[in-house]
């Protein structure tokens, strides 16, 4: 199991460390610093074996978190743990920075004592941790006996993510369908790969221990139920299709997986506040909000002509925002002249790219930029690698076509019904890695 | 000096201040003080002097303060064991506190304090906590048993904690179950045959129930444990699979991978014609693809595992090629792994897409990645015949870019393509020849030379090309030299008239001027072949070559099976069995996949212990064969002395296992010759061996090959090849070796001493000039003199050469023979010796000079042994 955890700053100084196993000596701290942090070459693997000791690391801004072990541990678990640890720390003190870590080391010690026992991850839910972590947490030290045993049964129990006795005057929930659409397109406009990875994020402010059921236009369900039955038309977007094929989805631990496996229904008791209900991935019938058409012409050895057209491909009534097109330029660029019809474009020498920004753009429109790039003559034999043109944007619909059909809330013990709950749904589509080769 | 004093002064003042604050009456002040103490502890200041004052703060009902004090205790108890005892009472009291959080905290912290005296006091509270009414306390106590076992395994067994732990598997609380499983699995790993985790259908059922209810981490522990179980038949196997598949939708990637491990393993037992088998295969693909949208580090772990899964069951992901396309911003470690998987998945159906991608990658920036992409194009050509032509033209395009490393890599793969499709793509040779001058890597040069030799009859100036390489023959690497030799012989056989001179030149270069035995041997063989029977030579040298296989870099099947059992773990990331990177007895046990349809014999324990298979015919290890050859070949005087076996481990000390042994060096390989005798009443199996770190990094180069079980009163002789690349630690005496041997009964330890002559390497002959310079260079302080008495020898140097002690020069001064000798140790240390022999005097004097003078004594002993033997 996990033998120890070290947190370093960018210089390789240890900010905090906790050793869980005897087989991890102090020299391990130095081994990682010398071989990884101070290594001359770029890190070639997130897992490093130095003298029969294995190190797993992740980096958050300029902080290194390293797990060290001498055993054959579950590597996936170690990384999941490291990400969780980062989340927990972030929810306690915000950004993971040297200053924040130094100011909170007692808290970090206490967390590490609770989250890992003898190197085994125990409980990493911020919600329940906050009920018994004393640093910055609970103020009143004098809990009653009932409260104490309630804490422990909650931490260890089946529903470790929610405490009993939550009350809201107004029962309300917010659903955000957040999608990132990824594309890799050839210069000729052929889709090489495209997929949407989406998340359903829920903010729940519900009293008691509500039982929820979530429904969406999943092809398998719709086909099973026969046609019709689409109840929620509120977030209707450009596409008229009824249902979508989901390649795969994963759920928050509150969702009953066996029920999903057998009936494909998503039922759960939600954590309080904000959390990620599910993630999903689709590849079929994706609406690609933008198309990028590049044209690069080399004029002699010292000049490049670039023309890029972007076309928006969604309902004219909708508006895309925060559009940014990034056109890479060769390293030996000496000067650039740009002309664009819309928005602003600028050559950024430090980033080796022309950055073209458009604030808003409606559907079914097109816009164009052309640039002349002057090159310094070089005797470098190596050709310019021509990185792809990448794009960023945000659109108010789900490119996968996903729709929320319902979210039903049942709380039998308290006197509110599904109708009393105020429910909000929002769809946001963003660019993931949206690239066109040129 | 002054600065050190100054710091100390500040520290002392600080400590004084903290002391006062710790003893303050006010709770808040105390709390702040303890926080300050911990702050100092974090930055590495020594605050152990405050131990008694901090311990005094322990008696409080304030949870926060208590936690702080416990934190401090964990850190310093080890360095202050006597003081730590002072805290014991409070610990014991806290274990009975009405607040379950405090009870758990106390038992958790006590387990972390690894002081023997404290563990005795831990037993009673731990026993109570294991049966506590509160699940939080029980789950903490379960892990504490594993902690205690790590400190004192005997104590845990004697106190019956293992049975209590087993009972916790049936606990009503899922988290308690999960922690109990984790603790038991860990303890079981250090006792491979203890039958601790007695998995049977009932307990499996309990685990599967808990699986649905516990935290994500608990699910991982349970799934990892399930993977060690071997179901009794395919029905049971299917029902477990059915209950595990829902885990594939978990948000935690580790849960998903552990579930995949269980499914991959249990699937082996399902009949292939079963409908469910097909369904399961289909269910596996989407979650594996989803893992690729995780954070890059997890993607890396997932890709390393997918690499194994694709080799084991290529059908699962055969339609998912696109998801492995490399993204421009992927970290390099993700890119390289994706590329590997792309090659494995390449097939006729997707080859066009793959090639287009690979061509794109070949223009990227990262050198390793580009090389791998070029190599991948070659592999596609070999794998998918229809694509070969397109691959070759792509490679030619890349050669035209003239980027040096791209060209070299392309030539290496084109050589393989020629081997696979002989006489098909020779038209490109001209293009290749144009790039001859830019090749500077041995592999590329060797490949080019091979091509020229192979197609010598079609290349008009083949002789000129090869001759140009010959000029710097001795500066080339062995690989190139060997290839050049063969290529010129091929050329000669094809065009004998014009190239006689060339072939003679290369043969003399190889046989007379080279000190590389491989090269010399090959040279002699060709020479004799050509001079005795040119027809036979033609048959041998120009024989049709066997086709090369389509897949390369495949993991050897037994290792692959073992790695599949380790999906998700470090072993699957390194693609090495755990024994290769885990120290000690943990994880030495090899895991195997269950066989389809076979009923598991009633051997109770699921892990290992299955009936031994029919023993494969034993092939003598390579070392032995070579040793024989060597003995045949060489003149008798150089046969090295053989040591008589010594008893290293008497049967009394090892529950009936007697080990005697000796060391030998044969053909450059150090062999540990072991004689294992079973003097007990029961059969011994599952032998394994490990060395402690030692002065010269000796380590077993392979597993201990005891293939058949050792029955009572049987003896077996095993020779274990040793490598010298293991971890190094200076021992006393220097040549001491601590060994652990494990069998199904227990682990036994002994130590033995190896003669240092085992480490004398074959290329230990120093040039005269170098010897003189080195002798002068080593300070006289490092010289040591010894006397060897009663020696009657005619030629000491012959005898010494058998042990790789090389005589460099001999000088006779006033009736005294002075012999100058050199020795090179496996770690590169040179020892220089001067041996004085006076005619008629049986006493020799020897002076040894070495940069590491501590080896001199050992070397002297070895001289004595050799000369007197």
Give residues 46 to 65 of B whose Cβ lies within 8 Å of A. 62-64
The whole-number pLDDT of residue A380 equals 63
Pairing relationship of beta strands A422-436 and A172-185 according to DSSP bridges: parallel
Say if residue A122 is in the same domain as residue A68.
Answer: yes
Q: Is A139 on the interface with B (CB under 8 A)?
A: no
In a domain, A151, yes or no: no
Give the separation between CA B665 and CA A82, rounded to whole angstroms. 48
Q: Is A9 on the interface with B (CB under 8 A)?
A: no
Number of domains composing chain A: 3
User: How many residues are present in chain B?
Assistant: 869
Give the separation between CA B277 and CA B233, rounded to whole angstroms. 15
Say if residue A404 is in the same domain as residue A337.
Answer: no
Most confident of A17-31, A166-180, B651-665: A166-180
In a domain, A215, yes or no: yes
In a domain, A144, yes or no: no
Say if residue A100 is in the same domain as residue A72.
Answer: yes
The model's pLDDT over B782-841, given as tens digits with 9 standing for 90+, comes to 888 888 877 766 667 777 777 788 888 887 777 778 888 888 888 888 888 888 887 777
CATH number at residue A103: 3.30.450.60
Q: Is B455 left (phi over 0), alpha (psi -120 to 50) or beta?
A: alpha
Q: Do A261 and B147 touch (CB under 8 A)?
A: no
Q: What percent of chain B has pLDDT over 70?
A: 91
The 10 Å Cβ neighbour count of residue B457 is 11
The model's pLDDT over B372-385, given as tens digits with 9 standing for 90+, comes to 999 999 999 988 88
**What's the half-sphere exposure (Cβ side, CA atoms, 13 Å) at B601?**
8
Facing residue for A149 by CB, picked from B64, B134, B173: B134
- Candidate from A96-105, B190-199, B674-683 with smallest mean pLDDT: B190-199
Say if residue A271 is in the same domain as residue A334.
Answer: no
> What are the DSSP E strand ranges found in A2-97?
4-8, 14-19, 47-50, 53-60, 63-69
Q: Is A118 on the interface with B (CB under 8 A)?
A: yes
pLDDT band at A269 (very low <50, low <70, confident <90, very high): very high
Residue of A nearest to B576 (CA): A72
The whole-number pLDDT of residue B181 equals 94
Question: Which of the listed residues A96, A113, A130 is the one where a domain comes to its end?
Answer: A130
Say if residue A346 is in the same domain as residue A375.
Answer: yes
Average pLDDT across chain A, whole number: 87
Residue that is written with structure tokens 């066996």 in the block? A258
Q: Is A1 on the interface with B (CB under 8 A)?
A: yes
Q: Do A120 and B174 touch (CB under 8 A)?
A: no
Q: Do B146 and A45 touch (CB under 8 A)?
A: no
Residue A393: phi and psi, rounded to 5, are: -165, 170
Instruction: Tell me the average pLDDT across B480-495.
Output: 90
Q: Is B67 on the interface with A (CB under 8 A)?
A: yes
Say if residue A8 is in the same domain as residue A126.
Answer: yes
Sheet with A404-410, side-by-side order of all strands: A266-268, A211-216, A404-410
Instruction: Tell me the average pLDDT across B195-219.
Output: 87
**Rg of chain B over CA atoms, in angstroms?**
34
CA diameter of chain B:
107
Testing the interface with A: which of B168, B212, B251 to mutate, by most A Cβ within 10 A? B251
Give the separation between CA A153 and CA A42, rounded to whole angstroms. 47
Q: Report CA-CA distances (Å) from B713 to A98, B652, B655, B656, B716.
A: 66, 14, 13, 10, 10
- Flag whether pLDDT at B743 surpasses 80: yes
Residue that is written with structure tokens 């210089």 in the block? A11
Instruction: Tell me the average pLDDT across B520-540.
Output: 86
Q: Is B289 on the interface with A (CB under 8 A)?
A: yes
Residue B63 has which token pair?
A: 């949870």
Give the separation between CA A217 and CA A245, rounded to whole angstroms. 9
Q: Is A136 on the interface with B (CB under 8 A)?
A: no
Pairwise pLDDT comparison (B750 vs A7), residue with the higher score: A7
Give the separation between CA B273 and CA B278, rounded to whole angstroms. 8
CA diameter of chain A:
83
> What are the DSSP E strand ranges found in A20-101?
47-50, 53-60, 63-69
Say if residue A265 is in the same domain as residue A304.
Answer: no
Q: Do A52 and B582 touch (CB under 8 A)?
A: yes
Q: Is A433 on the interface with B (CB under 8 A)?
A: yes
Give residues 719 to 778 of B whose Cβ lies within 8 Å of A. 727
Instruction: Tell me the average pLDDT across A320-336.
Output: 92
Q: Is B581 on the interface with A (CB under 8 A)?
A: yes
Q: Do A437 and B323 touch (CB under 8 A)?
A: no
The whole-number pLDDT of residue B867 equals 76
The model's pLDDT over B307-323, given as tens digits with 9 standing for 90+, comes to 999 999 999 999 999 89
Say if residue A265 is in the same domain as residue A301.
Answer: no
In a domain, A279, yes or no: yes
**Rg of chain A over CA atoms, in angstroms?**
26
In a domain, A162, yes or no: no
Say if residue A265 is in the same domain as residue A296.
Answer: no
Facing residue for A77 by CB, picked from B64, B98, B254: B254
Question: Which of the listed residues A74, A105, A130 is the one where a domain comes to its end?
Answer: A130
Measure B108 CA to nearest chain A CA, in Å: 8
Q: Which residues contact B836 (CB under 8 A, 6 or more apart)?
A: B816, B817, B818, B819, B844, B845, B846, B847
In a domain, A156, yes or no: no
CATH number at residue A214: 2.60.40.1170
- Flag whether pLDDT at B616 surpasses 50: no
Say if residue A58 is in the same domain as residue A110.
Answer: yes
The whole-number pLDDT of residue B794 equals 65
DSSP designation for B710: B
| Closest CA relative to residue B295, chosen from A261, A79, A149 | A79
In a domain, A150, yes or no: no
Whether residue B733 has a cis bond before it, omega within 30° of 0: yes
Residue B401 has which token pair?
A: 């870019």
Q: Do B300 and A117 touch (CB under 8 A)?
A: no
CB contact burial B213-249 (16+ within 10 A = b; e otherwise): bbbbbbbbbbbbbbbbbbbeebebbbbbbbbbbbbbb
Say if residue A68 is in the same domain as residue A185.
Answer: no
Q: Report CA-CA distances (Å) from B104 to A156, B67, B114, B196.
A: 12, 11, 17, 25
Would the pTM count as exceeding 0.90?
A: no
The whole-number pLDDT of residue B625 equals 34
The whole-number pLDDT of residue A294 equals 92
| Closest CA relative to residue B220, chosen from B188, B250, B187, B195 | B250
Chain B environment of A400 (Cβ under 8 Å): none
Find how far residue A399's CA is from the centre of its chain. 17
Average pLDDT across chain B, whole number: 83
In a domain, A103, yes or no: yes
The whole-number pLDDT of residue B760 equals 86
Facing residue for A45 by CB, picked from B179, B300, B401: B300
Find how far residue B656's CA is from the centre of its chain. 31
Question: Which of the listed residues A97, A130, A163 is the one where a domain comes to its end?
Answer: A130
**ipTM score of the complex?**
0.81
DSSP designation for B425: S
Pairwise pLDDT comparison (B655 vs A255), residue with the higher score: A255
Q: Is B272 on the interface with A (CB under 8 A)?
A: no
Q: Which residues contact A109 (CB under 8 A, 6 or more apart)?
A: A16, A18, B38, B71
Say if residue A313 is in the same domain as residue A197.
Answer: no
pLDDT band at A229 (very low <50, low <70, confident <90, very high): very low
Its domain, for residue A277, covers: 172-224+243-286+399-436
**What's the half-sphere exposure (Cβ side, CA atoms, 13 Å) at B784?**
15
């Amino acid at each position: 199991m996990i033998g120890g955890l070290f947190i370093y700053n960018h210089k390789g100084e240890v900010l905090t460390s906790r050793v869980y196993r005897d087989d991890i000596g102090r020299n391990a701290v130095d081994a990682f610093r010398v071989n990884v942090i101070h290594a001359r070459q770029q890190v070639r693997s997130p897992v490093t074996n130095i003298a029969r000791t294995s190190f797993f690391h992740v980096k958050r801004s300029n902080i290194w978190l390293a797990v060290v072990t001498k055993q054959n541990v579950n590597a996936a678990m170690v990384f999941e743990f490291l990400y969780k640890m980062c989340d927990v720390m972030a929810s306690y003190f915000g950004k993971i920075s040297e200053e924040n870590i130094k100011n909170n080391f007692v808290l970090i010690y206490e967390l590490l004592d609770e989250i890992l026992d003898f190197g085994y991850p125990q409980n990493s839910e911020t919600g329940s941790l906050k009920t018994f972590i004393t640093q910055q947490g609970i103020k009143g030290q004098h809990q009653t006996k009932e409260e104490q045993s309630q804490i422990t049964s909650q931490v260890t129990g089946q529903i470790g993510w929610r405490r009993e006795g939550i009350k809201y005057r107004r029962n309300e929930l917010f659903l955000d369908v957040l999608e990132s659409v990824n594309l890799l397109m050839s210069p000729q406009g052929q889709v090489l790969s495209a997929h949407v990875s989406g998340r359903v994020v829920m903010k729940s402010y519900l009293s008691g221990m509500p039982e929820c059921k979530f429904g969406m236009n999943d092809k398998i369900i719709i086909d099973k139920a026969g046609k019709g039955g689409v109840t929620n038309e509120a977030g209707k977007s450009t596409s008229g299709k009824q249902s979508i094929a989901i390649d795969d989805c994963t759920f928050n631990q509150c969702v009953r997986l066996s029920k999903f496996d057998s009936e494909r229904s998503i039922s759960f008791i939600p954590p309080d506040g904000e959390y990620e209900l599910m993630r999903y991935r689709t590849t079929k019938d994706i609406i690609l909000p933008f198309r990028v058409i590049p044209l690069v012409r080399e004029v002699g050895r010292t000049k490049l002509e670039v023309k890029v057209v972007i076309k928006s491909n969604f309902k004219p009534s909708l508006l895309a925002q925060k559009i940014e097109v990034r056109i890479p330029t060769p390293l030996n660029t000496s000067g650039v002249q740009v002309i664009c019809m819309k928005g602003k474009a600028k050559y950024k020498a430090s980033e080796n790219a022309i950055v073209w920004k458009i604030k808003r753009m409606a559907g079914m429109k097109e816009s164009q930029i052309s640039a002349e790039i002057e090159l310094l003559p070089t005797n470098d034999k190596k050709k310019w690698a021509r990185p792809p043109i990448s794009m960023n944007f945000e659109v108010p619909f789900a490119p996968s076509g996903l729709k929320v059909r319902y979210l039903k809330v049942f709380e039998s013990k308290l006197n509110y019904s599904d109708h009393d709950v105020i429910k909000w749904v929002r769809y946001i589509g963003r660019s993931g890695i949206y690239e066109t080769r040129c | 000096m002054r600065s050190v004093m100054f710091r100390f002064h500040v520290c002392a003042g600080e400590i004084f201040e903290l002391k006062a604050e710790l003893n303050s009456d006010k709770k808040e002040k105390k709390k702040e003080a303890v926080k300050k103490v911990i702050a100092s502890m974090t930055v590495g200041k020594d605050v152990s002097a405050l131990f008694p004052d901090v311990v005094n703060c322990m008696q409080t009902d304030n949870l926060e303060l208590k936690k702080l004090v416990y934190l401090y205790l964990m850190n310093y108890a080890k360095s202050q064991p006597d003081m730590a005892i002072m805290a014991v009472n409070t610990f014991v009291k806290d274990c009975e506190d009405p607040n379950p959080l405090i009870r758990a905290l106390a038992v958790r912290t006590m387990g972390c304090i690894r002081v023997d005296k404290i563990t005795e006091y831990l037993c009673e509270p731990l026993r109570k906590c294991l049966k506590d009414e509160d699940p939080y306390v029980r789950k903490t106590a379960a892990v504490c048993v594993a902690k205690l076992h790590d400190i004192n395994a005997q104590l845990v067994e004697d106190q019956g904690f293992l049975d209590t732990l087993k009972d916790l598997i049936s606990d009503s609380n899922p988290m308690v179950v999960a922690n109990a499983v984790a603790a038991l699995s860990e303890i079981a790993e250090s006792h491979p045959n203890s039958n601790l985790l007695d998995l049977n259908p009932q307990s499996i059922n309990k685990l599967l129930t808990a699986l649905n209810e516990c935290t994500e981490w608990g699910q991982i522990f349970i799934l990892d444990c399930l993977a060690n179980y071997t179901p009794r038949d395919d029905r049971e196997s299917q029902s477990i699979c059915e209950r595990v598949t829902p885990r594939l939708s978990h948000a935690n990637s580790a849960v998903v991978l552990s579930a995949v491990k269980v499914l991959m393993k249990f699937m082996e037992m399902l009949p292939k014609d079963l409908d469910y088998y097909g369904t399961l295969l289909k269910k596996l693909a989407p979650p594996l693809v989803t893992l690729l949208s995780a954070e890059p580090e997890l993607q890396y772990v997932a890709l390393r595992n997918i690499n194994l899964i694709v080799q084991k069951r290529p059908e699962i992901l055969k339609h998912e090629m696109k998801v492995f396309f490399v993204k421009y911003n992927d970290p390099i470690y993700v890119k390289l792994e994706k590329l590997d998987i792309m090659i494995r998945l390449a097939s006729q159906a997707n080859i066009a897409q793959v090639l287009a991608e690979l061509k794109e990658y070949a223009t990227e920036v990262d050198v390793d990645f580009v090389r791998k992409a070029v190599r991948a194009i070659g592999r596609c050509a070999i794998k998918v015949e229809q694509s070969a032509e397109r691959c070759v033209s792509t490679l030619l395009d890349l050669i035209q870019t003239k980027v040096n490393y791209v060209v070299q890599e392309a030539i290496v793969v084109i050589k393989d393509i020629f081997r696979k499709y002989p006489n098909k793509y020779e038209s490109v040779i001209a293009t290749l020849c144009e790039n001859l001058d830019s090749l500077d890597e041995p592999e590329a040069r060797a490949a080019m030379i091979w091509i020229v030799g192979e197609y010598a009859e079609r290349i008009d100036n083949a002789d000129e090309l090869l001759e140009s390489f010959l000029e710097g023959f001795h500066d080339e690497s062995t690989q190139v030299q060997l290839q050049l030799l063969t290529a010129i012989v091929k050329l000669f056989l094809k065009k004998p008239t014009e190239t006689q001179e060339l072939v003679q030149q290369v043969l003399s270069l190889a046989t007379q001027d080279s000190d590389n035995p491989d090269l010399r041997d090959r040279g002699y063989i060709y020479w004799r072949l050509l001079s005795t029977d040119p027809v036979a030579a033609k048959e041998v040298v120009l024989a049709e070559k066997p086709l090369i296989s389509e897949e390369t870099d495949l993991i050897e099947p037994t290792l692959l099976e073992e790695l599949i059992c380790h999906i998700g773990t470090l072993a699957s990331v390194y693609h090495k069995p755990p024994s290769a990177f885990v120290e000690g007895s943990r994880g030495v046990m090899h895991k195997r996949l269950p066989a389809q349809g076979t009923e598991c014999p009633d051997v109770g324990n699921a892990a290992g212990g299955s009936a031994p298979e029919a023993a494969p015919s034993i092939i003598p290890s390579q070392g032995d064969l070579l040793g024989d050859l060597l003995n045949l070949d060489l003149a008798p005087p150089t046969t090295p002395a053989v040591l008589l076996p010594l008893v290293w481990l008497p049967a009394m000390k090892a529950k009936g296992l007697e080990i005697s042994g000796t060391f030998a060096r044969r053909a450059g390989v150090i062999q540990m010759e072991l004689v294992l005798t079973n003097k007990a009443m029961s059969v011994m199996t599952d032998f394994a061996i490990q060395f402690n770190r030692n002065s010269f990094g000796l380590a077993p180069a392979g597993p201990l090959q005891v293939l058949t079980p050792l029955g009572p009163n049987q003896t077996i002789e095993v020779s274990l090849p040793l490598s010298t690349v293991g971890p190094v630690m200076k021992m006393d005496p220097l040549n001491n070796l601590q060994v652990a041997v494990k069998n199904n009964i227990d682990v036994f330890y002994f130590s033995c001493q190896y003669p240092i002559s085992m480490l004398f390497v074959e290329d230990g002959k120093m040039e005269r000039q170098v010897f003189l310079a080195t002798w002068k260079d080593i300070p006289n302080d490092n010289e040591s003199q010894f006397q060897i008495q009663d020696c009657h020898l005619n030629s000491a140097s012959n005898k010494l050469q058998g042990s790789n002690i090389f005589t460099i020069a001999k000088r006779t001064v006033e009736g005294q023979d002075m012999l100058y000798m050199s020795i090179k140790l496996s770690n590169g240390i040179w020892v220089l010796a001067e041996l004085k022999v006076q005619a008629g005097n049986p006493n020799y004097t020897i002076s040894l000079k070495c940069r590491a003078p501590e080896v001199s004594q050992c070397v002297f002993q070895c001289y004595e042994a050799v000369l007197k033997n």
